[in-house]
Amino acid sequence: MNDPRDVDHTLNRCGCPAPDPQDASGPTFFLIKGAAIKTGYDTKFLQSHGAAFGSLVVATENAYLTDEAWKQICPELTRGIRFNIRRAASRIGITQEEADQLWVVLALDGFKSHTKNFRELIDFAENRISVLCEDRDSSHVNQAFDKYVVSDSLLNKYM
């Protein structure tokens, strides 16, 4: 692999500021290059290996996010976020019913799949998840890969 853009997987993880490290890690989704996921690499596998509730593996043609992948990810992402809110709230004496009334913010980059799929945005809102989208041209400031693109020599050293 000589080109850092030639990938076979992508990982995205949700997190939140929390006093207890158990509550800081949210759902992770993995985009795998290919037509299908290997048998056994499912949600149960991820959780048994330390991934948070709501984590998911999705196969796409090039391991990049597509509209179809985003539509598969959003329901699990929503469940995972709400689960983490309930768990964190219970640690400080807030009931599940009260926790379900709390709004949270999900900050996303301005990638078109995040913003153009209206059904997913409605589902987030119905689950009290307010979506904040950054300017689509800001990823070079906010995302490490875009900010620090790996040079070929460094990439070859570790790959």
- Looking at residue 52, the DSSP 8-state letter turns out to be P
Phi (first) and psi of residue 21, to 5 degrees: -55, -30
Q: What is the pLDDT of residues 33-50, one digit of tens each?
A: 888 887 887 778 888 888
Q: Are the beta carbons of 29 and 10 closer than 8 angstroms?
A: no
Mean predicted lDDT score pLDDT of the chain:
76
Q: What is the pLDDT of residues 60-102, one digit of tens each?
A: 888 888 889 999 999 999 999 999 889 888 888 999 999 999 9
Please state the pTM of the whole predicted model. Answer: 0.74
Distance of CA 145 to the CA centre of its chain: 16
Q: What is the mean pLDDT of residues 125-151?
A: 66
pLDDT at 142: 57
Q: What is the mean pLDDT of residues 124-152?
A: 66
What percent of the chain is predicted at pLDDT more than 90?
21
